[in-house]
């Protein structure tokens, strides 16, 4: 059992999850904006900043997952089970696709290699990032549903 109180864990879970969502959204939007309107130097800057941003994102995701698992206290059913399945997908997508893409894109950008490989990796990163944004958004929605009291249905 954790020595951290449940109200504190809830706050950690909300803040870390919200921060992770905002970081991923900012990476995604910055990429779209710089690819459409930016210079080569700005693309290099954004790609480099995203890699450094992983130093904030990874702990946020770990804190979200860890606090959520602790809050569930082994009762993995219903919405908690759905959220846990999504978190496994989010983690796998992040570790196997997004982190390698971010590092690869930063290296390619710094070396001025904005060729077909760069574009392919960029499309993959944007698609995988969007998937994680949607999955985290669904987890946020379900977390809010879990907070609300169940209202009895009124039939007329």
Q: Tell whether 155 is covered by a domain.
A: no
What's the total number of domains in the chain?
1
CATH number assigned to the domain comprising residue 10? 1.20.120
For residue 7, is pLDDT > 90?
no
**In which element (H, E) is residue 143 found?**
helix 116-147
What DSSP character marks residue 63? Answer: H
pTM (2 decimals)?
0.85
Cα dist. 113→11, 57, 58, 104 in Å?
A: 43, 26, 27, 11
Cα dist. 9→71, 99, 151 in Å?
A: 7, 27, 26
Handedness of CA 142, 6, 87, 32 (dihedral sign): positive
Q: Tell whether 151 is covered by a domain.
A: no
How many CB atoms lie under 10 A from the CB of residue 150? 6
- Domain ranges, residue 39: 6-146
For residue 47, is pLDDT > 80?
yes
pLDDT at residue 152, as a whole number: 66
Give me the mean pLDDT over the 55-65 stretch.
Answer: 93
86-145 tens-digit pLDDT: 989 999 999 999 999 999 999 999 999 999 999 999 999 999 999 999 999 999 998 888
Q: Tell whether 152 is covered by a domain.
A: no
Q: Tell whether 103 is covered by a domain.
A: yes
Q: Tell whether 29 is covered by a domain.
A: yes
For residue 1, is pLDDT > 60?
no
pLDDT above 70 as % of the chain:
94
Q: Tell whether 154 is covered by a domain.
A: no
Q: Is 150 strand, coil or helix?
A: coil
């Amino acid at each position: 059992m954790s020595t951290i109180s449940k109200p504190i864990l809830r706050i950690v879970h909300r803040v870390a999850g919200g921060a992770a969502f905002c970081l991923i959204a900012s990476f995604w939007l910055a990429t779209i904006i710089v690819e459409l309107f930016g210079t080569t130097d700005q693309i290099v800057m954004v790609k480099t900043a995203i890699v450094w941003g992983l130093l904030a994102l990874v702990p946020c995701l770990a804190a979200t997952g860890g606090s959520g698992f602790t809050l569930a206290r082994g009762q993995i059913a219903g919405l908690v089970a759905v959220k846990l399945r999504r978190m496994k997908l989010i983690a796998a997508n992040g570790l196997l696709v997004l982190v390698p893409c971010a590092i690869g894109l930063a290296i390619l950008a710094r070396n001025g290699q904005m060729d077909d490989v760069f574009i392919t990796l960029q499309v993959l990163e944007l698609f995988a990032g969007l998937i994680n944004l949607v999955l985290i958004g669904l987890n946020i929605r379900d977390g809010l549903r879990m907070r609300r009291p169940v209202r009895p249905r009124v039939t007329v």
